[in-house]
């Protein structure tokens, strides 16, 4: 698993088809609709629950301290919620850090201590994120098991108490399947997720926050999103990875609007996810639109159409925005560096880069630039969203994307 995609909203159809190595527990334990609504009332929040979502939500992966920056080296001005990624959950509901050294030992006290120092300095809230692309294998087993759910809930309370988090973010990719190969799943997952969230809320009361991360494809959740929204404080929509690295033609990683010229891969677009979620019964103020601070590059065989929708020879690399800037593929936030041609696609509001390597090889890059990020933040704001955010903050370059996001959402 490439770490850049540890949290990803892949809507790649092929990934929906794979077998669960576990028997379908959910099928035997299905709750009737009546059971679900009865149990929901127990999980409701007090009236003092926050109504405004997460504001500007930044994910920080604990492993970024090795290759990019620890949390103390980043300007976090404008951020309202900092999400610490990731911890994982065992089958019995126990939660554990995915990197004990980074979290608890680096520099003597670990980088969660640096997070708490940053929290003091900037005044944002902090969330502990559990799961992600690489650590969602046990969620299904926990969700169907009342004892494991209770353990998870109790341990989340303890983690908040012990390490100073204001709440927990669950990044189950995905209830009902479609995540990493060999993840356990059952068709009952979307329903049992309600039980898991309810137990977490019962343990948290209104003292701690709950958020969840969801795929851009709202159809995954079997019409249960409204029920999640009743329990959680907010829902982060992972509106990226519309194209996967292994796909046969190049495309946009996170196009804002529909390509009016036509997308042969029919990959979808961010505005579609925005309306999909509003239509699914989630109040706008509980929605956060997540954007990518990374792009992707492929080597394609033709430079036609500026490399867009061309036949892929090979996936080249993940392209963090800060790498594009540091490598000189971009020499300002808006201009291509030597050897590259930039195209800004008005219809989808995203840029691409193209470099000719030989007569039959071109490098094509899809990414979000400050104007894309600003347009997405403005769309979220205009729809009354409670937040906008990114995966992930260390991929920014000198605050160029964060600045555009804060400007678009708050001004
Ligand atoms: C899933 O749970 C099993 C059993 O507790 C554990 O051995 C494994 O490490 C867990 N996987 C992850 C990704 O946490
Ligand atoms: C859960 O499993 C882990 C690893 O197998 C074990 O260390 C731990 O004691 C178990 N916790 C509970 C509450 O059963
Ligand atoms: C965090 O990064 C700063 C530089 O930005 C460095 O001085 C410090 O030692 C680092 N701390 C840890 C715990 O890695
Ligand atoms: C680690 O935390 C302890 C207790 O808060 C503190 O006394 C000590 O100075 C810290 N060490 C470092 C290297 O920050
Ligand atoms: C893509 O093409 C460039 C230029 O020829 C080359 O340097 C790079 O290694 C290629 N990428 C892959 C994954 O082969
Ligand atoms: C960026 O690169 C282009 C192409 O090489 C060049 O024309 C332009 O002057 C450069 N701009 C800056 C600000 O370096
Ligand atoms: C590229 O195409 C041009 C014009 O068709 C040709 O003259 C040249 O030899 C080709 N170069 C390579 C490396 O194939």
What average pLDDT values come out for the chain (411 residues) when binned by 10 residues? Answer: 36 30 29 32 38 88 96 97 98 98 97 98 98 97 98 98 98 96 94 98 98 97 96 98 95 98 96 97 97 98 98 98 98 98 98 97 98 98 98 98 98 88
CATH numbers and ranges of domains, the chain: 3-238+269-293+369-410 (3.20.20.80), 294-367 (3.10.50.10)
Instruction: Kindly identify the ligand whose nearest atom is closest to the C-alpha of 154.
Output: 2
Instruction: Kindly identify the ligand whose nearest atom is closest to the C-alpha of 330.
Output: 6
- Within 6 A (CB) of ligand 3 lie 65, 70, 72-73, 106-107, 111, 114
Q: State the CB neighbour count (10 A cutoff) for residue 105.
A: 12
Q: In what side-by-side order are the strands of the sheet with 294-300? A: 312-320, 294-300, 361-366, 350-358, 341-345
The pTM (predicted TM-score) of the whole model is: 0.89
Q: What is the pLDDT of residue 8?
A: 41
Measured in Å, residue 369 CA sits from the centre of ligand 6 at 17
What is the rounded distance in angstroms from the CA atom of residue 239 to the CA atom of residue 290? Answer: 6
Residue nearest to atom 1 of ligand 3 (CA): 70
Kindly state if the Cβ of 283 falls inside 6 Å of ligand 6.
no
Backbone angles phi, psi at 403, to 5 degrees: -60, -40
Inter-residue contact 133 to 5 (CB < 8 Å): yes
Q: State the CB neighbour count (10 A cutoff) for residue 53.
A: 26
Q: What is the pLDDT of residue 52?
A: 64
Residue nearest to atom 8 of ligand 6 (CA): 337
Q: What is the pLDDT of residue 53?
A: 86
Measured in Å, residue 359 CA sits from the centre of ligand 7 at 6
Kindly state if the Cβ of 105 falls inside 6 Å of ligand 4.
no
Inter-residue contact 274 to 379 (CB < 8 Å): yes
């Amino acid at each position: 698993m490439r770490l850049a995609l540890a949290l990803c909203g892949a809507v790649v159809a092929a990934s929906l088809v794979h077998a669960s190595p576990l028997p379908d527990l959910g099928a035997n334990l299905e709750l009737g609709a009546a059971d679900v609504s009865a149990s929901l009332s127990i999980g409701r929040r007090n009236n003092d629950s926050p109504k405004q979502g997460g504001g500007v939500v930044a994910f920080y992966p604990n492993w970024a301290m090795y290759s990019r920056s620890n949390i103390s080296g980043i300007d976090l001005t404008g951020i309202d919620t900092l999400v610490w990624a990731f911890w994982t959950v065992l089958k019995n509901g126990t939660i554990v850090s995915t990197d004990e050294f980074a979290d608890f030992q680096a520099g003597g006290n670990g980088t969660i201590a640096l997070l708490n120092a940053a929290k003091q300095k900037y005044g944002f809230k902090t969330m502990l994120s559990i799961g992600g692309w690489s650590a969602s294998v046990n969620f299904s087993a926990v969700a169907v098991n009342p004892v494991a759910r209770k353990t998870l809930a109790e341990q989340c309370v303890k983690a908040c108490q012990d390490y100073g988090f204001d709440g927990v973010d669950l990044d189950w990719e995905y209830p009902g399947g479609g995540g990493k190969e060999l993840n356990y799943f059952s068709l009952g997952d979307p329903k049992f997720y309600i039980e898991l969230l309810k137990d977490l809320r019962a343990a948290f009361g209104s003292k701690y926050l709950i958020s969840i991360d969801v795929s851009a494809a709202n159809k995954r959740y079997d019409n249960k999103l409204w029920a999640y929204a009743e329990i959680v404080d907010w829902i982060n929509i992972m509106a990226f990875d519309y194209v996967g690295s292994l796909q046969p033609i190049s495309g946009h990683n996170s196009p804002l609007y529909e390509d009016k010229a036509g997308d042969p891969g029919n990959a979808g677009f961010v505005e579609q996810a925005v309306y999909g979620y509003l239509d699914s019964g989630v109040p706008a103020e509980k929605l956060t639109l997540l954007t990518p601070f990374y792009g992707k590059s492929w080597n394609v065989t033709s430079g036609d159409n500026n490399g867009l929708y061309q036949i892929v020879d090979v996936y080249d690399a993940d392209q963090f925005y800060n790498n594009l800037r540091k490598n000189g593929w971009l020499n300002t936030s808006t201009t291509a560096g030597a050897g590259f041609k930039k195209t800004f696609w008005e219809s989808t509001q995203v840029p691409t880069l193209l470099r000719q390597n030989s007569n039959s090889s071109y490098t094509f890059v899809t990414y979000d630039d400050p104007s894309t990020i600003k347009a997405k933040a403005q769309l979220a704001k205009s729809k009354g969203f409670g937040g906008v955010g990114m995966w992930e903050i260390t991929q920014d370059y000198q605050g160029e994307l964060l600045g555009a996001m804060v400007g678009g959402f708050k001004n």
